[in-house]
């Protein structure tokens, strides 16, 4: 594996910023889409930046993720292709969600270039805004040590945090006070040329360090998944798992994949019924809880989007009740994605399993009783 190794003289954010500035100065890009610390200093937002001065203040590596990048990008390209060439600097799960949204025709990728980086994870937003200074310092430590405590739970079980399975144009790795530029797409050659870099340095050491970490994270993940599997077996346990849920639908609203302008679970046909109908249901069930359809919402949402769930944990980050909703979606996402050997957002050419089929498949789900 070859790339370009650069020594970091200041800090990481500045090192990445310098690269971006050069690319904009040399007119390879018209604008940059990247997180910036908001002036009150307590949080971060994606900005579409044209102004070179504002470029000075970017934070390509923010310690938290208040808005999932793909969700932000969707607003930008909602009405179709851009005439500007935009450079987007995003985390691997954000890029995968963007590709998934492109498959769902909610994002147009034309004229967008993606830089990904080795993601150390993010801190829960609610925790971060309580003491930003502490976490600003911590994120640098995290990157150095790759520790997992205090991160978003989804981040500590994330196995696609580096260049593997991330369809960026160019990936930026970190290894011992060095930045590594790893060209991924054909597009990236032009970028290296402009920076006068040649991809000739040996990246093996970095790759080995990523593989070691990957192994650890895979173990964490399967441990967590078997725990979740036990915790949610049977409807009573599943109900207990969601016990704090107040049915606010925030998890759906912040999820990058749930793009529907009118969520089915908030549509009149699903959720506005005459009182008589509720009475009839109450008779059948002994009584019904209000607001109704809480479990149907979660299980239904899984049916709608778990095949595309990138496991980013934004849903959990946005949940006011600390329901481990991101973990359970990651878990069920993994189960159903395995059925179709599908990894969301990995490859633009690969169709979402519900939008394609094979004629000869899944017979075990047909006439299930007849065969026994």
Binding region for other proteins (CB under 8 A)? 229, 232-235, 238-239, 264-265, 270, 281-282, 284-289, 292-296, 299-300, 302-304, 306-307, 332, 335-336, 339, 353-354, 357-359, 361-362, 365-370
112-117: strand order across its sheet? 44-49, 31-37, 86-89, 112-117, 170-175, 178-183, 2-7, 201-202
Q: In the complex with other proteins, which residue's Cβ is closer, 80 or 286? A: 286
Residue whose CB is less far from other proteins, 333 or 345: 333
Query: What kind and span of H or E run contains 297?
Result: helix 294-305
Minimum Å gap between C-beta 110 and ligand SF4 is: 23
Residue 85 vs 304, nearer CB to other proteins: 304
Shortest separation between residue 317's beta carbon and other proteins, angstroms: 23
CA-to-CA separations, 341 to 147, 238, 333, 346, in angstroms, rounded:
30, 26, 12, 12
29 or 114, CB closer to ligand SF4? 114
| C-alpha–C-alpha distance, residues 156 and 136, integer Å | 18
Question: Measured from the CB of residue 246, what is the shortest distance to other proteins in angstroms?
Answer: 13
Q: CA 56 to CA 165: how far, in whole Å?
A: 31
Answer with the entry of other proteins, ligand SF4, none that 307 interacts with (C-beta below 5 to 8 A by kind): other proteins
CB of 299 to ligand SF4, least distance (A): 10
For 240, the token pair is 């207990």
Bridge partners (DSSP) listed for residue 35 = 46
List the single partner that 71 binds among other proteins, ligand SF4, none, CB under 5 to 8 Å by kind: none
Please choose, from the candidates 69, 76, 83, the residue with its C-alpha nearest in 3D space to the C-alpha of residue 107.
Answer: 76
196 versus 365: smaller Cβ distance to other proteins:
365
């Amino acid at each position: 594996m070859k790339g370009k190794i650069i020594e970091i003289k200041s800090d990481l954010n500045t090192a990445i910023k310098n690269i971006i500035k050069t690319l904009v100065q040399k007119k390879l890009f018209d604008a940059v889409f990247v997180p910036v610390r908001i002036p009150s200093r307590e949080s971060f937002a994606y900005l579409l930046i044209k102004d070179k001065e504002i470029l000075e203040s970017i934070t390509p590596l923010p310690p938290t993720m208040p808005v999932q990048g793909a969700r932000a990008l969707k607003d930008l390209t909602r009405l179709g292709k851009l005439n500007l060439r935009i450079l987007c600097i995003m985390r691997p799960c954000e890029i995968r969600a963007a590709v998934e949204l492109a498959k769902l025709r909610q994002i147009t990728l034309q004229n967008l270039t993606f830089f990904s980086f080795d993601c150390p994870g993010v801190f829960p937003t609610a925790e971060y805004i309580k003491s930003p200074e502490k976490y600003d310092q911590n994120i640098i430590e995290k990157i150095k040590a790759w520790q997992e405590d205090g991160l978003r739970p989804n981040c500590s079980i994330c196995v696609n945090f580096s260049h593997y399975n991330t369809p960026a144009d160019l990936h930026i790795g970190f290894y011992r006070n060095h930045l590594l530029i790893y060209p991924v797409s054909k597009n990236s050659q032009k970028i290296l040329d402009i920076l006068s870099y040649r991809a000739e340095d040996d990246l093996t050491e970095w790759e080995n360090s990523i593989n070691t970490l990957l192994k650890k994270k895979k173990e964490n993940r399967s441990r967590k998944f078997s725990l979740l599997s036990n915790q949610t077996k049977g409807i009573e346990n599943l109900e207990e798992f969601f016990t704090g849920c107040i049915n606010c639908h925030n998890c759906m609203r912040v999820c990058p994949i749930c793009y529907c302008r009118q969520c089915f679970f908030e549509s009149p046909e699903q959720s506005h019924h005459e009182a008589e109908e509720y009475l009839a249901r109450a008779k059948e069930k002994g009584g019904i809880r209000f607001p109704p359809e809480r479990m149907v919402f979660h299980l239904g949402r899984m049916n709608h989007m778990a095949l595309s769930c990138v496991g980013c944990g934004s849903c959990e980050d946005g949940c006011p009740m600390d329901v481990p909703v991101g973990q359970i979606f990651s878990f069920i996402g993994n189960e159903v994605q395995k059925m179709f050997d599908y990894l969301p957002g990995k490859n633009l050419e690969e169709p979402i399993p519900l939008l394609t089929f094979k004629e000869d498949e899944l017979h075990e789900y047909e006439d299930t009783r007849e065969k026994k």
